A = this chain, B = another copy of it.
Amino acid sequence: MLTKPSQEPCEVSGCHAYNALLRRLDANDARVFRDATRTKKFPVGRTLFSQGETCEQLYFIESGLVGLRRSDENGNSALLRLCRAGESLGYRAITAGAAHQNTAEVLASSQVMIVSKSVLRWLAHRNTEFSGGFLGFALNALNQTEAICAELLTARLKDRLLSLLAMFDERVVGSESSQRFEIELPIQRKDLADLLGTNPASLSRTIARLHKDGDVRFNGRRVLVLKPEALKKEASRFWVQS
């Protein structure tokens, strides 16, 4: 995919963030950028980078799912949010010239494009608008993190779970209103629990309650949504315009 001499240099990858950066470069620099890109597959459980490390690379998620985790010295560890296909990672530490503030752990097997810091520095030096791209990434991340934060401040576990479910399927915001449909969860219960700030036991109980109320039926990682409007109501927070 990266080697084909594309006629339309704006769409050379399946990663939105990658394309957004590429669009800010002239043909020549775009070639440099593409040539410096390599692709790697990461299995579940692997980490792209760890909190405290200095940043060496810029990452672009082509497929899969990566979680950002933050720990403190008291031993607490929180799974802050998910990064999906199309997103970029590592730009924060590179731009700030600081260590990674979070650990990026692979939650579902992911295909990732990688560009080394040195190439990036070289390009950024020649293209001052380059940082405009990162600014866009940061603003999106900030908005989403604030949405999550707002939810943690106000919503109950049950509603947070519904809202999280809504994240995993774009049909939730689609038009086919009252149709039941199925979502395939890409991650396991422990991770879901971490994202919600709870533990697998409590999560399991909440799922049982939803089941009993007839809203949503869980079967392992398959989730049958019986009342889409319940999800829709909760979904809104996450879909800030990007």
Interface of chain A residues 37 through 58 with chain B (CB within 8 A): none
A122 to chain B, nearest CB (A): 17
Is the CB–CB distance between B145 and A149 below 8 Å? Answer: yes
A27 CB-CB contact with B under 8 Å = no
Nearest CB in chain B to that of A194: its residue: B153
Is the CB–CB distance between B150 and A70 below 8 Å? Answer: yes
Size of the A side of the interface (Cβ < 8 Å), in residues, is 47
A208 CB-CB contact with B under 8 Å = no
Nearest CB in chain B to that of A75: its residue: B154
A98-B241, A139-B95 known; A236 vs B154 contact (CB < 8 Å): no
A101-B146, A102-B146 known; A197 vs B153 contact (CB < 8 Å): yes
Residues of A within 8 A of B (CB): 68, 70, 72-74, 76-81, 92, 95-96, 98, 101-102, 128-129, 131-132, 134-136, 138-139, 141-143, 145-155, 194, 197, 233, 236-237, 240-241
